[in-house]
Amino acid sequence: MRYSKALIPTLKEAPSDAISISHILLMRAGYIRRIGAGIYSFLPLGLKALRKIEEVVRGEMNQAGSQELLLPAILPAELFKESGRWDKFGDTLFRLKDRKGGDYHLGPTHEETITDLARREIHSYRELPQNWYQVQNKYRDEPRPRGGLLRGREFLMKDAYSFDASEEEALSSYESMRLAYRRIFDRLGFRYRMVGADSGAMGGSKSAEFQVLVQSGEDFIAACDSCEYAENIEVAAAPRPSTSDATASDATAPDAQTPEAVEEIATPGRGSIEAVSKFLKTEPAKFLKSLIYTAGEELVMVVVRGDHEVNEIRLARELGVDEVHLANGKAVKEATGSPIGFIGPVGYKGRILIDHDAAALSEGICGALKNDYHLAHVVPGRDFQAEAASLRLVTAGDACPKCGKGLSIYRGIEAGHIFVLGTHYSEKMNAVYLDEAGEKRPLVMGCYGIGISRLVASLVEQHHDDSGIVWPVAAAPYPVHITQMGTSDAVVAAVAKLERELEELGIEALIDDRDLRPGVKFKDADLIGLPWRITIGERSLKEGQVELKPRTEPNPKAAQAIPLDGAARHLAELIAAATNLSSLAKTN
């Protein structure tokens, strides 16, 4: 591709509405343009990158035995009404009416559509298993689109669905998808973790998220650096405190073994753990932090250690409800007779849950249920009764549940998610097959998604430097960027020669033949981020040489002189080596 003919509108300055690094760089390098909130056009380079990623995904899906099909993006309401999601999806669903007033919507995901296909076309156990996928735009009216391609209202997704005769076979389908996903993320050059996730809402029995690790990620992941354990912090269970932990946290307290009687302390105007701990010159870990949550109709008090945070997902599960919310000040006052900041479990009449770590404290400080007062020497079990459970968020340094080493907390972008769905949809939609005995059984389903357009942005989040994008080979729009220096006959001829030779090897190159100053062209090359740059100019061409610089080389001046003759073959070898490396990495 000749740059002089290409649509690559690079920008010196980023549009002010772009905040995330991938959004800024994809805009500046001329890959995408915004059309509306969460809606983007892909310009030629952006589409190239998208297609590269798509092809990696497609290749691995095919390899894993999944068959590609294409479902519609616009869907009649009936199927979602059948599954109950017409209502459940709420405002997130883009709804429309046809000229006759019939209800339609844009597909946010395609479980219903595929289940409908399956119930029509699969009749016998002899036809199982099946695994179908598509690459299709999805539409969700997100409450808050953000980060450019990271969370759009229109986005490209690869979604696959498996159909099996039994739960065991479904697990084997799931396993083959898990391996395919690992290969996909490895080949694309991601730093990622496969993490256990909250699959409860989908009615699934097993699920894993593929989280791309970046600082800007929206999700928090508890992961072990010594073993493969990783879980979304939403579901990660904090380790049960051992006795040694309890004494360790009390190490600074003299005579902690013989707790005194409860003592009331005036703490005027100090309604936060921070304020009270400063006031009493003690640490937050010695507090029994009490919070009132609403869980459906019920109000419950939750007690965690002062330095811990409540894991609301685990709390909701413990209580058997979909979600919990912190009660507002009015409700707290009504329930406890005390303002927020001074509530505590001692003397509280309602239901109390306590986190294991808080319960393990030999004594603690908590609100007195009375404005401007706290209680000291409160002993869980002696001064109040509560149901103990694991209710706190895991923190860095907590013990890994698998190997016992310290956990780290990472931020991640959920780029892929695989589920065993079970019979949730097949039962609702009567998608059944006949087994060997002639009995009707619901299909056991799995679903497997990868956000393709999100992968583009995620890669940029992970692979960039101060000058621009640094594409891994597998996703780069072109592997080679040729910078033509000047327009002398010799240079023009050398560029044409290399172009021809690369073409013969099936290697596409972006050739910057624009009549611009070198600095401009180098800046654009860095911004665009193709893996290898070849500079062809009079200077080295006199010796029959061109200059080669990998984009990963941080020093802008560090280029390696290689002979023009054989340069194409040399590049071919570099590309092949890099491609093999990434595809061979960790394919367990």
The residues binding RNA (CB under 7 A) are: 10-17, 19-20, 28, 34, 36-38, 92, 108-109, 140, 142-147, 151, 157, 159, 201-202, 218, 323, 325, 414, 417, 419, 447, 449-451, 467, 485-486, 516-520, 522-527, 535, 537-541, 547, 549, 556-557, 559
Helix (H) or strand (E) holding 573: helix 567-584
Q: Which is nearer to RNA, 299 or 379 (CB)?
A: 299
CB 224 within 8 A of CB 230: yes
CB 86 within 8 A of CB 80: yes
Residue 11 CB, nearest distance to RNA (Å)?
A: 6
Residue 416 CB, nearest distance to RNA (Å)?
A: 7
> ∠477-480-481 over CA atoms, to 5°?
95
Q: Which is nearer to RNA, 81 or 405 (CB)?
A: 81
Helix (H) or strand (E) holding 97: strand 95-97
Residue 467 CB, nearest distance to RNA (Å)?
A: 5
Residue 230 CB, nearest distance to RNA (Å)?
A: 18
Q: Which is nearer to RNA, 502 or 546 (CB)?
A: 546
Residue 127 CB, nearest distance to RNA (Å)?
A: 25
Lookup: tokens for 482: 């040729």
E-assigned strand segments in 468-575: 468-469, 480-484, 509-512, 532-536, 545-550, 560-563
Residue 64 CB, nearest distance to RNA (Å)?
A: 17
Got the DSSP string for 428-490? HTT-EEE-TTS-EEEPEEEEEEEEHHHHHHHHHHHSEETTEE---GGG-S-SEEEEE-S--HH
Q: Which is nearer to RNA, 162 or 535 (CB)?
A: 535
Q: Which is nearer to RNA, 20 or 582 (CB)?
A: 20
Nearest CA-CA partner of 39 in 110, 106, 112: 106
Helix (H) or strand (E) holding 295: strand 288-295
Residue 93 CB, nearest distance to RNA (Å)?
A: 11
Residue 153 CB, nearest distance to RNA (Å)?
A: 9
How does 311-326 read in b/e, with b if 16+ C-beta sit within 10 Å?
bbbbbbbbbeeeebee
CB 279 within 8 A of CB 272: no
Q: Residues 6 or more apart from 90 whose CB is under 8 A from it?
A: none
Helix (H) or strand (E) holding 288: strand 288-295
DSSP β-ladder status, 219-224 and 154-164: unpaired
431 CB burial (10 A radius; 0-12, 13-18, 19+): buried
Nearest CA-CA partner of 467 in 559, 558, 560, 551: 551
Lookup: tokens for 123: 């009749």
Q: Which is nearer to RNA, 25 or 165 (CB)?
A: 25
The C-alpha atoms of residue 300 and residue 386 are separated, in whole angstroms, by 11
Residue 307 CB, nearest distance to RNA (Å)?
A: 19
Residue 172 CB, nearest distance to RNA (Å)?
A: 20
Q: Which is nearer to RNA, 288 or 447 (CB)?
A: 447
Residue 365 CB, nearest distance to RNA (Å)?
A: 26
CB 486 within 8 A of CB 537: yes
CB 453 within 8 A of CB 149: yes
The C-alpha atoms of residue 588 and residue 584 are separated, in whole angstroms, by 10
